[in-house]
Structure 1
Amino acid sequence: TLKITLFFFVVVVFLKQQEAAADLALEMSEPAEPAGQIQFSLEFDIYSSVLTLKIIQAKGLPAKDVTGTSDPYVRICLLPDRKHKLETKVKHRTLNPRWNETFYFEGYPLAKLQKSILYLHVFDYDRFSRDDPIGDVYLPLSQVDFTKKPCLWKCIRAAEDTK
């Protein structure tokens, strides 16, 4: 009976891991109704272990302000490390912002980088209240071919409406 109990325990743990992996894959898939698109490029210097991310632009963002526009900016993070959050500048009154801002992640050897997920969270800046989330993008860096210095357009998954 100990073998049977151990077998069922292993099966339950395996199924829970599969369920968690399926949930994460769903979060990272292309959304059915995107909240616009974002363009960015990635470059990795294997010798200095530096990832260079350039946030180029976004298009088709939803209006979050009463004026029919948004004041978008992007918060950037490499998961699972949530320590270093970087942000672009706020672009006022636009649904098609152009940032052209470059960010550097130092001390990421290729093995660590391939276990990381690039997380881009787009917000609408509000001066007197909490910023409104517009949506986000998850990109597992294990899926990126850094030899090609990719420039990507990704659909933004709309944020859950919190109002």
Structure 2
Amino acid sequence: MSRRDQIRMTPDELTVYLDEQKVINVATIGPNGRPHLAPLWYYPHGSGIATWTYGSSQKAKNLERDPRATVLIEDGDTYDKLRGISIEADVEVVTDTLMVTQMGITLTQRYAGAKPGEPVPDELAGFIAKQAAKRIGLIFTPTKIVSWDHSKLSGTY
């Protein structure tokens, strides 16, 4: 078995990893043809991930022009602990304010430690709805996933 095969995460490991992590780095293609890289909070969504961003942001403009992105999620502070996922994805840009509001609620619940579907206080729901009017939702559907978990090498390289 190749080293590449040894460190690849299983589907279950990918699911757990996506649930554990908090920040994605999203690469889009800017108007000058160069990559534009930006960190975002996210939540697992179907076979991919979802988030929101300001509709006037550079990444939003880039995705309206070319709805493809590469997403990196990684952690580990020494070689033997490096783990990560690189996702090439088609991106759906969501502009429906009610859907964007729900996406904002899902993000807020995740980062506040609430369970999906728990009641949202009216004041918070109102705040998120106001934010949603300025934002778009982004749904990343993977076309290719590459993963690595160097801890599977048990200290041998």
Scaled by the length of structure 1, the TM-score of the pair is: 0.34
Which protein is richer in helix relative to its size?
2
Scaled by the length of structure 2, the TM-score of the pair is: 0.35
Higher relative contact order (CA 8 A, sep 6+): 2
Structure with larger Rg = 1
